Amino acid sequence: MIKALIEKLLTPKKGTFGVAANFESVEGILSAVMRARAEGYTKLETYTPFPIHGMDEALGNPPSVLGYIVICIGLCGTATAIALTYWVGTIAYPLVIGGKPLWAIEYTLPIIFELTILFSAFASVLGMLHLNRLPQFYHALFNYSGFSKISDDAFVLVIESQDPKFNAERAKQFLNSIGGHVVEVVEE
C-alpha cells in the first residue's frame, strides 16, 4: 500500500502546469506580478531565492490562516490539560497531598500552560507544512530549465494553467512583452 502511495506521488500528472519566466531581480518580479494582475491573471505564483517584502500583497494573497489554526488547537490543548488533571486528580487517583485540594488551578496551571504550548507548537509546524503542501517529492516546476537557478539568483513568475484567462501562447507573449527571460511552457 505504501509502495502504491509513493508511486502515485512520484508519477507526474499529465497536462500543462503553466508558463514560467525569469525576471532576474526583486524589482523586476514585483512589477511583473503587478502587471500580470493588471492584465487580469489571477492564478499566479512566484519562486524566489528569498522571501520578498510586499510579495503577498502584490500577489493578492489573503493573510495566512495559520494563526487561527494555532489558537484553536492551542485551546484544545488547554481543554485536554484541564480534563486530564481533573480526571487524574479527582477520579483516578484522589489523593490528598499536603492538605491541598484534589484539583486546584494553582498546581494544574503549569500543566495547562505546557500542554497549550505543546499543542500550539505542533499546530504551528504541522499547520505550516499542510498550508505549504509540504513535503512534496515532485513539483512540475522541476521541468523548467531555469529551475536550479531559483535557489541562486532567479526570480520566476508562473502563470498557472488553472487561470481562467490561461492560454499558453498568449501568456508566453505577455511574459515576453513585460521583459521575462527564459519564457517556457512547463509541463506537469
Partner 1 sequence: MAHDHPHDTPVDSFRIPAGTWTHVRNVLAALALVGWAACLAGYLQNQDQFARSYLVAFLATIFMALGGMLFVMIQHLTNSVWSVTVRRLMESLMMSLPVGAVLFIPIALNTHSLYEWVHPEVANHFSATKAAYLSERGFILRAFICFFIWTLLSWRLWSISRQQDHSGAASLCYSAAKVSAPGVFFLFLSATLAAFDWNMSINPHWYSTIYGVYCLTGGAWAFFAILIWICLRLRANGILTNSITPEHYHDLGKWQFALTAFWAYIAFSQYMLIWYANLPEETIYYKVRLEGSWQFLTKALPLIHFIFPFFLLIARPIKRNLSVLGFVAAYVLIVHYLDVYWMIMPNYFKSGIQFHWLDLASVVAVVGTFGFFFWQRLKDAPIVPEGDPRLAKSLRFHNV
Chain positions contacting partner 1, by CB under 8 A: 30, 51, 53-54, 57-58, 63, 67, 71, 98-100, 106-107, 109-110
- Quote the least distance from Cβ 114 to partner 1, whole Å: 12
Eight-class DSSP state of 149: G
Give 55 or 168: the residue with its C-beta nearer to partner 1: 55
Give 106 or 169: the residue with its C-beta nearer to partner 1: 106
Distance CA 12, CA 36 (A): 28
Q: Which of 169, 74, 158 is nearest to 115 (CA)?
A: 74
Give 30 or 171: the residue with its C-beta nearer to partner 1: 30
- Quote the least distance from Cβ 148 to partner 1, whole Å: 25
User: Is residue 182 a contact partner of residue 146, using CB atoms and an 8 Å limit?
Assistant: yes
- Quote the least distance from Cβ 45 to partner 1, whole Å: 18
| CA atoms within a 13 Å half-sphere pointing along the CA-CB vector of 68 | 4
User: Is residue 108 a contact partner of residue 81, using CB atoms and an 8 Å limit?
Assistant: yes
- Quote the least distance from Cβ 54 to partner 1, whole Å: 4
Provide φ and ψ at 116, rounded to 5°: -60, -45
Give 107 or 166: the residue with its C-beta nearer to partner 1: 107
Give 116 or 161: the residue with its C-beta nearer to partner 1: 116
SS3 call for 181: strand
Distance CA 19, CA 186 (A): 6
- Quote the least distance from Cβ 34 to partner 1, whole Å: 9
Distance CA 81, CA 109 (A): 9
